[in-house]
Amino acid sequence: MLHTQIKEKIKEAMKARNEVELSVLRGLSTALTNELVASKRMPSDELTDDEVLSVIKKQAKQRKDSIEQFKVGGRNELAESEQKELEILAQYLPEDMGRDEVEKIAKAKKEELGVEDKSKMGILMGAIMKETKGKADGSVVKEVVEKLF
């Protein structure tokens, strides 16, 4: 279980005195606990791997947004700090699909659903995201779908 693995990594980071990793993993652990509470479960319960991945993706997206904002604001030292945190989170995420794979799935789904105009673009994107099970970056999916029309 990914949830248990993260708890073990916190202990390892404490022993190794790795402050950055420890901080990121503690924050992630808190986010996982918050997810448990939000879904009306006990904090001592564990999330499924899919639920854990969903939380990690949210955390990673926050880091990416922060990096972008810090770069725009000329705060490169903060952007570097966020980048290090993102790299730690990325260790737990599955490899993202390549653009070519997303294009194949998009074309197949477009045919399958019979989507012909831009008004149904959201339906197509939703179907593709469901098909890729979170292994494709949403921005890549959006670009691919826009090119199809």
Cα separation, 64 vs 94, in Å, equals 17
44-81 per-position pLDDT tens digit: 899 888 899 889 989 999 999 999 999 999 999 999 99
Mean pLDDT value across residues 17-23: 95
- Please state the separation of Cα 83 from the chain's center in Å: 14
Q: How confident is the model at residue 95 (pLDDT cuts 50, 70, 90)?
A: confident
pLDDT of residue 104: 87
- CATH placement of domain 2-90: 1.10.1510.10
Which of helix, strand or coil describes residue 107? Answer: helix
CATH code, residues 99-148: 1.10.10
Q: 2-90 and 99-148: same fold? A: no
**Long-range CB pairs of 78-81, under 8 A, 24+ apart, other chains included:** 81/20
Each domain of the chain, given as residue ranges in start order, spans: 2-90, 99-148
Q: State yes or no: pLDDT of 145 exceeds 80.
A: yes
Residue 40 confidence (pLDDT) above 80:
yes
The amino acid present at 25, given as its one-letter code, is: L
- Lowest pLDDT segment from 22-26, 98-102, 127-131, 135-139: 135-139
- pLDDT score recorded for residue 22: 96
Yes or no: say if 141 and 103 are a contact pair by the CB < 8 Å rule: no
CB neighbourhood size of 105 (10 A): 19
On the question of pLDDT at 137 being above 80, the answer is no
pTM of this structure = 0.73
The answer to whether 141 and 125 are in contact (CB under 8 A) is: yes
Which position has the higher pLDDT, 84 or 111? 84
Radius of gyration of the chain (CA): 18
